[in-house]
Each structure stands twice: as structure tokens, then as C-alpha cells.
Amino acid sequence: MECVTNNIVNLFDQQALATPEQTAMIEYKLGRARAITYKVMRKKVLDQAKLLKRRGVGKGDMVLIMHSLSSELYINLLAVLRVGGICLFAEPTLRKSVFFKMIKMFRPKMVLSRFIPEIYFKTYKGSIEIAPVKSKDTAILTLKNNHNPEVITRSHGFLHEQLSVLKESLKLEAGERELTNLPMFVFLNLVSGVTTILPNGNLSQPERLNTKTLIKTVIEQRATRILCSPDIIENLLQFNKMNPFTLEGIKLLHTGGGAISLRNLKDLPEIFPKAKINVVYGTSEAEPIALLNLDEVSLIDLNKSGHGAGVLVGAPVDGITLSIDPVDNPIATNNMGEIIVSGKHVLGGTSRTGDIGYLDEHGRVWLVGRKSKTICDTTTSLTLETACAYIEGVARAACFKIGDKAYLYVKLMPGVKDVPDSVYAFAQMHNIDELRIRSDIPLDRRNQSKDMYKALTPGDWRRTG
């Protein structure tokens, strides 16, 4: 049955009407902080909804949105959903050619982007109340892969379930102030009464955010929580080695969007002495899947990870049923397999994650690699990559097999000019056929956390450092 409460925008509207003077978002324009209250943001959403109506956008119409992480992104999102439309998201880092390919493929009613001007206009006179929708009606479409687009469809009902699980898992409380660079969690904050602080800098390239400026932002904006991708955590740790600092105002730290080494996690209390530190594991189809608290990580876990056990990501959250489907691969042991999850906040009810892992004796999930769809075999890549990164002087490693030949790429820490002997010993111990030292290892554009193995395949030595 169609009703207003099914529309996910209703959650934002309720929050905005209940706490109109509370700051919804803090963002930086030309280096200056700008605070936006719920009252102001709701008015902007209503104004944009009127504009959409005048341009003929209504229930079931698709609008392609391409914006960097900002208040404008969410104002457009909320306005489209308010009139009953469907949001199709394009990554702000998308190439222009791919962007126009998306327009041709999906033929949206309207496009909101820096690439093209306003293209549709029709006079509209009427109300802009929240459009009633069915729980199963599509709210948001995203692309999992920009080169070979794989559409992920999220209905209003699914978003209600997902936000409910995330709110409980992340222990969100209204009135808190969270710095984040992950788009999904900004939306979660907006409907939960949590002030979102967007870092100062180009959020389309989070790996290039100035760490010193980030620290200053956390202090100046009195952040109480941080939820960010692993690359930001790694930058903070690296900066701390040369310029020790602490952020005592942070009470809770979550990192998600990619795997993070236990070796890095154990150093975080030096920076966040008063914070509870958690890892959130999830996928585009299921977020969250598992949660790991640093207090649960033992010296035995650290030792196992450093000797090839993989990456520990914690126990499945409430509402998730997890199983392991054995893979037909001679590298994987009997208890390893593809992780399959099911639950109300899992798209389609059940999802194959593509991640290879296993459950330990405590029921916790360990990741060891990916179920490869290319010529690269990455079934247990994470085990060697994580272990190699434990070596002093190593910043990152990428490992894969093609046929019977094993390749290992290593990026050294800044300032390390000579390859440590232990790297050669590691490669020999694990029967690596080709060892390559690189100035950088290409990562995924979204979260800067996953190795792009395709860019490292043999025969393309032009990018070798």
C-alpha cells in the first residue's frame, strides 16, 4: 500500500521538524567552514523539490545526480525522493565519456551534473508534500562498476531496514558530531539527528586530503565520532609517526569501506586514547555484515594475521545470517569459501559477497581474498598482502597468480630507499616467481582501499616504479 511513511524522506522530515535549529551538516567552501541547520536544509530541499516539479519530475521518474560529497548532493537526493522520483548516482570521479554513456543507457528524465546545463523545463503549480510510495518502490540506483555497469537497486523499504540496522550497530545518538567521508553514512546521520562534519578538501579524492588540516578540522568542529575509509586511518598513523598527536575528543571511531590490517588497528589508541575503535565490514549489497571492536583483538590474532591468516573483520551483526560456500581452488583450505549473507537489509534477501573467507572458533569472520572474475587468481591474496605489510618498511603489497606463476608487488614506506632483505626472504618463503617494487599500487577510486589487480597484470611494466 502506498503511504507517506514508506518514503525514506519522511525520516529526514521528522528529524528536521523536531530539531530545526540543530546543525545538520558542516562543510567547507573555499577553506571556510559553513554550518547548515536542519531548518535551512529542509527549506532548500523543499525549494529544490518545487524546481523538480516545475521541470516535470514526478513519481517514478529517474534523475541522474553527479555531485561531490556535499550538502548539495543530499539536498538533491532528498528533493528527488520527496517528489517520488528515483535517484541514479554517478561517481564524481567518473570520466565524461562514461557519464554520457550512462545517460544513453538509462535515459533519465533529468540530469543534475557539472557536465551539462539544465535541460528540461515545464511550469508547475501545486504542493510539494512527500509523495506516498510503496515499500517496494525503487528509491536509489547506484553502479557497482563504472566500466561494466552493474546496477544496484535500493527500495524505500530496504533503506528503512538498512538504516535501522546501521543505527543500532554504530550506536548512533542524536546530538553527536561525526566526521565522515563515506556517503551512505552522511544520509544515516541526516535521519538520525547526528551532525555530519565533512573534511576540508577534495572529497572526490580522499587519499589526497591534507592530514594536518583533517586533524585541525576534528578539533575546531568538536567532533565526537569519526567514521572513515582505511586510507584516512593509514594517513593519520603515518603522520603520527613524525608528528605525534592525540584526539581526546573522539569517543567512537569506525572505519569501513575496505579491509584494514590489525597491525594498523593496534596503533590507533595512541591517537584516540578515549575512543572505542571498531571495524565495519560490509558490501554494496549488504551493509553492515560484521563488526569488530579493537578490544576483542588479542595478541594471538595479531600474530595469526602477520603469519598469513588474513584480515579479521569481526562477528556477524544481528540480523545477518552468514554461511561459507567452499570454492573449487587448490589454494583454499577446506574451511575457506565465498561468504554468503542473508537478512532484511541484504539486497534481494541473499547475496554472494565475492569475498573469500572463513569463520574461526569464535564465530568471527576472517577475509583471505576475492573470488576473481579475471585472469588473476586472488583467492587468498589478502593473506600474503597482509603478512607482507607487517614487514618493517613495507607500506602496501599486492599479490596474485596467473596460471602457475605468482606475482608480488611491494610499495615501500616514504623515505625507505633500499628494499629490506626481509622482503626478498618473504618472497622466497612463499614461492613468489616475480617480485616488483613500485612507487605506488593502484587502488579503487571510490574508497582507495582495494588493490586494482588489473592495472598490475604482467606485460604492463610501464607503471612499474
pLDDT of 395-443, one tens digit each? 889 888 888 889 999 989 888 888 999 999 999 999 999 998 888 877 6
Q: What is the pLDDT of residue 151?
A: 83
Residue 141: its pLDDT value, please? 92
Decide which of 334 and 172 is more confident.
172
- Mean pLDDT over 312-332 rounds to 88
- Which residues share a beta bridge with 411? 396, 438
Q: How confident is the model at residue 120 (pLDDT cuts 50, 70, 90)?
A: very low
> pLDDT tens across 33-72, in order?
999 999 999 999 999 999 899 888 999 999 999 888 899 9
Distances in Å between the Cα of 443 and the Cα atoms of 207, 356, 368, 397 are 10, 19, 18, 11
Q: Is 404 left (phi over 0), alpha (psi -120 to 50) or beta?
A: alpha
Domain 382-463 CATH assignment equals 3.30.70.260: no
Q: Residue 266 CA to chain centroid, in angstroms?
A: 21
Residues 152-174, mean pLDDT to the nearest whole number? 94
391 — phi, psi (to 5°)? Answer: -70, 135
* Rounded average pLDDT over 115-124: 47
Matching residue, cell 546521520: 189
11-36 pLDDT, tens digit per residue, is 999 999 999 999 999 999 888 999 99
pLDDT at residue 211 is higher than 80: yes
Q: How is the chain split into domains, by residue range?
A: 4-157, 382-463
- Predicted confidence (pLDDT) at residue 94 exceeds the cutoff of 80: no
The pLDDT of 306-322, averaged and rounded, is: 94
Report whether pLDDT(122) > 90: no
CA 453 to chain centroid = 19
Max Cα separation, the chain? 74
Q: What is the pLDDT of residue 66?
A: 87
pLDDT of res. 200: 86
Q: What digits encode the pLDDT tens for the residues 224-277?
A: 999 998 888 988 998 998 899 999 999 999 998 777 888 888 999 999 999 999
Task: Report d(CA 245, CA 263) in Å as an integer.
Answer: 19
Do domains 4-157 and 382-463 share one topology? The answer is no
The per-residue pLDDT of the chain, averaged, comes to: 87
- Residue 149's pLDDT is 61
CATH of 4-157, one of 3.40.720.10, 3.40.50.980, 3.40.50.2300, 1.10.260.30: 3.40.50.980
Instruction: Compute the average pLDDT of residues 136-153.
Output: 80
Predicted TM-score of the model (pTM): 0.88
**Whole-number pLDDT of residue 195:** 98
Alpha-carbon distance values, 24 to 15, 72, 159, 268 (Å): 10, 13, 20, 28
Residue 117, pLDDT > 60, answer no
Residue 145 has pLDDT above 70, yes or no: no
